[in-house]
Amino acid sequence: MKIWLYIMLTVIAILLVVGIALEIFFRHYVANETLRNATRDTTYAADAFSEEYENILKRFVSHTASADSYQLMCDVSVPHTKEYMNLNTSLQSQLSLYTDSSSLIHTAMFSDTKGQLFYSYKSRLRDDTFSPTDTYALSGAPSICIHPATQSPFRGQSDMVVITYLLTVNPSERMVLLADSYENCDAVLYFFLNAQHIQDYLALYYNGSTSDVLLYLTDGSGTPISLSSADDNYAIATDTAIQRGIRYLSGTSNKLLHTGDRYILLVPIANSDLYLANILPEYAVYTRIRSLDLMLLSIALVMFLLIPFLLFFVTRFVTKPLKLLMQSVQEIEIGTYEKPADGIPPADEIGQLSRSIDSMYQTIQQQFRQIKQDERENFQMELRLLSEQINPHFLYNTLECINMEIYNHHNDTASSMLSNLGGYLRISLSYGNSQHLISQEVDQVKAYVNIMNYRFRHSIHLTTNIDGDLLSMKILKSILQPLVENALKHGFSIDSSVYFPIAPMIDISIWREPDTLSIAITDNGAGIDIEHAKEIMYGSGTDADGRHHVGLHNIYHRLNSFYGKTDITFSSIPFYENKILIRFPYQNFCETQNECD
């Protein structure tokens, strides 16, 4: 009962801590996720409006750069060249081009330096005394300026965002250019963009819900551009804290600012001085956390009701698996263990511990078996090494060849073959020594090549290129001869009836490097299958057909075991140069320090 009470109190405390931690984590996570989504959606809407605004600029340039536009601007800049009605009629087509260049443009208008207005016949001024110069504060305005939403000067139209272009005529180039100031312009072009259409356009490209957010265009000072003073949200956009936050964000690379009970997101509009502002109330950011809070509270209540019953069953049944586990440990100690005890639940922690103990036991047993297997393989490798030193087939065939030479009264040839065979066997049968001189290793290869020349009547040309001071150094036995044998057998097919078109040439080079000894076996045979050679060398010495290729495999592992890290590389240009390069540490090559000096 006491254990049950302790465990229950501990679990309740843990649940309280976990619940509080989850609440903090999810509140932070949901807020960040909501703000990331809002930033992404705001950026997407800003990019869409930037693209539309860029299209407006491109089409303005395209329509204004034409020859017809130049002539019309000349007429507008010199208003007495045509009567007003005729000039206004001439401008209707140009005004229609501007109006049709974007769905956001409601209408277009020209004015000259005298204040004369030219606009579509479909439009009617609210007030004949309307002065765009005063209304839009053109004095001091830049060449292209976007003005905050105001009441349209035309009847039947809602609030408009106005884009003004200060134009000047360049007679020498016969072009219409942007003027640097209103005082230097010849005419002004006005695009009237419906403010509500801009708001709808931004809401259309904002992927998230716009019911709780405020999207609008603003300049760097925080002045709303696409919101008119009659808009319900205008007071929020002109709030001092909001405008101060926009001014701060416009001067930094940041996009997000938390001020008061709102978040401000500000994304720049390309090719303009405008920004897309997104004002998110704090409650909109944490809306999702309320349902999550309710779910966590429900889970906590259910857990508090279930904990006493769960702990009762846990404390009742946890001792049985522990006893079985201890039984398995005792069986391992006395050597009678065979498998995990039955009755331990496999899915809980005790079951995992039981499997881990079983896995550890099996691993130790496997390591014991592997050690025994390695010992057997090492013993077999030594036997293979001895058997490779005298190949029975090579000996039998050589003796048979000598017999035939004697039978044919070629006594000199038979004598020479016997002399070479004796030298070969004398070096190969030097039992008790794992090393011999490099000169002896080379002599063994020469004796072998001489015998092969006598046997097959081939002119095998063997050359050596070895530093003179290396000939008296010692090296591991039977390294060169198996490699030369492989070259003759696989590179020249010398023990088959296949005719080889060129004279076999084999070169043995041995040289020193600062820390290594290098051995190169080069021939002009049919080439080396490099991938196959590596597979034999690093593998078991048996290819996919079950044939044994112990020569290269044993050489690599013997060198690696005797000298340390050994590097064997292959290169092959068939019938030109096929090379096996062996490199191993030079300091381990020397038997004494004096030999290395």
**What is the pLDDT at residue 53?**
93
Average pLDDT over residues 466-472: 89
**Across 112-133, average pLDDT:** 85
DSSP 341: P
Segment 79-85 shows an average pLDDT of 68
Domain boundaries, the chain: 65-197, 319-384, 432-596
Q: What is the pLDDT of residues 574-595, one digit of tens each?
A: 988 999 999 998 664 554 434 4
- Is a pLDDT exceeding 70 seen at residue 220? yes
- Report residue 194's pLDDT band, with 50, 70 and 90 as the boundaries: very high
Whether the pLDDT of residue 90 is over 50: the answer is yes
pLDDT of residue 107: 93
What pLDDT does residue 443 have?
92
Q: What pLDDT does 383 receive? A: 44
Task: List pLDDT tens digits, range 60-74.
Answer: 999 988 888 888 888
Q: Which residue has the tokens 């691993």?
A: 363
- The angle, 0 to 180 degrees and rounded to 10, between the axes of the packed helices 2-64 and 67-77 is 80
pLDDT exceeds cutoff 80 at 240: yes
SS3 content of the chain, % helix, strand, coil (to 5): 55, 20, 25
Contact 99, 122 (CB under 8 A): no
pLDDT score of 549 more than 70: no
Q: What does the pLDDT read at residue 166?
A: 93
pLDDT band at 222 (very low <50, low <70, confident <90, very high): very high
Decide: pTM greater than 0.85. Answer: no
Q: Which two tokens stand for residue 265?
A: 């997101």
354 compared with 242, residue with greater pLDDT: 242
- The Cα–Cα gap between 57 and 65 comes to 12
Instruction: Identify the DSSP state of 488.
Output: I
> What is the pLDDT of the chain when averaged over all its residues?
82
| Gap between the Cα atoms of 69 and 87, Å rounded | 12
Helix axes 319-334, 349-389, angle to 10 degrees: 20
pLDDT of res. 44: 93
Quick one: pLDDT at residue 379? Answer: 46
User: What is the per-residue pLDDT for 13?
Assistant: 75
Lowest mean pLDDT of 173-182, 247-256, 374-383, name the range.
Answer: 374-383
Give pLDDT tens digits for 445-465.
Answer: 998 898 888 877 667 899 999
Q: Give the pLDDT confidence score for residue 387 in this predicted structure.
A: 44
Residue type at position 432:
G
So what's the pLDDT on residue 594?
44
As beta bridge partners, residue 117 has 111
Q: Is the pLDDT of residue 12 over 70?
A: yes
Q: Is the pLDDT of residue 57 over 80?
A: yes
Q: Is the per-residue pLDDT at 204 higher than 60? A: yes
Q: Which stretch of 226-230, 299-303, 354-358, 375-379 has the lowest confidence by average pLDDT?
A: 375-379
432-596 is classed in which CATH architecture? Answer: 2-Layer Sandwich (3.30)
* Contact by Cβ (8 Å): 577, 528: no
Q: What is the pLDDT of residue 547?
A: 57
What's the angle, vertex CA 423, arms to CA 417 and CA 424, rounded to 5?
A: 85
Q: Looking at the domain covering 65-197, what would its CATH class be?
A: alpha beta
The answer to whether 439 touches 408, Cβ cutoff 8 Å, is: no
- The string of pLDDT tens digits covering residues 477-509 is 888 988 998 888 888 877 665 566 678 899 999
Q: Give CA–CA dist 179/177, Å, rounded.
A: 6
Distances (CA, A) of 526 to 489, 494, 529, 569: 10, 12, 10, 18
Backbone angles phi, psi at 96, to 5 degrees: -65, -40
DSSP 318: S
Of 151-165, 216-230, 501-515, the poorest mean pLDDT is in 501-515
Confidence band, pLDDT 50/70/90 cuts, at residue 391? low
Percent of the chain residues topping a pLDDT of 70: 83
